[in-house]
Amino acid sequence: MAAITEATVMQALSGVQEPELGRDIVTLDMVKELTVDGSTVGMMIELTTPACPLKDVIERDIRAALDGIGADLRDLRWGSKVRRAAASTPERLLPNIRNVVAVASGKGGVGKSTVSVNLAVALAQTGARVGLLDADITGPNIPQMMGATGTPKSSPGGKIEPIERHGVKLISIQFFVPEGQPIVWRGPLIGGAIQQFLRDVEWGELDYLIVDLPPGTSDAQLTLAQAVPLAGTVLVTTPQDVALSDVAKALSMFRRMNVPILGIVENMSSFACPHCGELTEIFGRGGAERLAKEEGLDHLGRIPLELAVRQGGDAGIPAVAQREVGPAATALKELAGAVAARLSVRAANESGPTLTVA
């Protein structure tokens, strides 16, 4: 058998596909710190997101490729470098944030804030740097759902320091108003507050900034879409027709503004009995999946209605951060992986090949 060299290893690895991106790991420049000592090989694989749900598949295929040339993989390490999605080009307002992701719905009460909070925390749990912006100015719930209190301080540069909780940097108008005081503002003030949170908060380096939008299709949505290049939007709905009708309007609005839609998630798809675990489809089933199919979008998953989610939201401990992970938390973690994967695909399709093997 021919001697094993870095060139022969890279040639073998050029047959290993990144499953989500559909290109090989050499072309994608994912192979780093390669070492070859006789037949012993070591390397680091730089994933396009720490939330990669198919890491085990990649490792299996790497080992199989190296076995084919008689190489022994002794040292496999994992790193990650989140890339900017196609629409999320660098720009002056948020130059250090790689992907701004909006979470939206057509109507209230569908669990959009619950999805935003758990999506942000689940991404942070994978090692990603995550921020969460509460853009629901007149109905801010994010601080309570995250268990975050206090008043943000000023940074040395005169910006607002976000509060950090569950590994996520977050900002909300609720931090700046007395408890129980309503915020009765007209549209321009709401838009101005969102712009200030984008402009004047010391977010630092972030892989993902999740923006929890208010229901509807109005000032907050327009302000966000016009202020920063959005990497994509996650649409949240419940299965029944009244919610689907409203989320379809939100979908149409984002398309008019040329904002990519990452997919639709169906919340409260069924009720998980806390005693026996039986699922009851209170609001029907499959509405989001049907809408996604009709619109040519990805269906990102179903999240069951579970008591632990409501309790966690009230207590400031998101479902994915609780000690016991139930069906809803599992679905929310899978949602985070799906969102990260779709952003990686967009980034890879935009950047094109970065390295070839002779």
Between CA 315 and CA 311 the distance in angstroms is 6
> On the CB side of 153, how many CA atoms lie within 13 Å of its CA?
3
Residue-range domains of the chain with CATH? 6-81 (3.30.300.130), 97-349 (3.40.50.300)
The whole-number pLDDT of residue 256 equals 92
Between CA 249 and CA 182 the distance in angstroms is 28
Task: Enumerate residues 6+ apart whose C-beta is below 8 A from 66.
Answer: 9, 12, 13, 41, 72, 73
pLDDT digits (tens, 9 = 90+) for 140-172: 999 999 999 999 999 888 899 999 999 999 999
CB 134 within 8 A of CB 123: no
The whole-number pLDDT of residue 313 equals 92
Which ranges of 34-96 would DSSP assign to H, the alpha helix?
A: 55-67
Between CA 337 and CA 195 the distance in angstroms is 29
The whole-number pLDDT of residue 91 equals 58
- Say how many C-beta atoms besides its own lie within 10 A of residue 68's C-beta: 10
CB 99 within 8 A of CB 131: no
pLDDT digits (tens, 9 = 90+) for 267-303: 998 886 777 777 788 888 788 999 999 999 999 999 9
The whole-number pLDDT of residue 356 equals 35
Burial (0-12, 13-18, 19+ Cβ within 10 Å), 161: middle
Hey, what are 127's tokens? Answer: 């090692």
3-state secondary structure of 33: strand
Which ranges of the chain would DSSP assign to H, the alpha helix?
A: 6-13, 55-67, 112-125, 142-146, 187-200, 219-227, 241-256, 287-295, 307-315, 327-351
Token pair 């409501």: residue: 310
Q: Can you list the residues of the chain whose pLDDT is less than 70?
A: 1, 86-92, 272, 350-358
Between CA 53 and CA 57 the distance in angstroms is 9
The whole-number pLDDT of residue 156 equals 85
CB 62 within 8 A of CB 34: no
Between CA 229 and CA 162 the distance in angstroms is 21
The whole-number pLDDT of residue 351 equals 60
Cα 227-229-233 angle, rounded to 5 deg: 105
CB 126 within 8 A of CB 53: no
The whole-number pLDDT of residue 357 equals 34
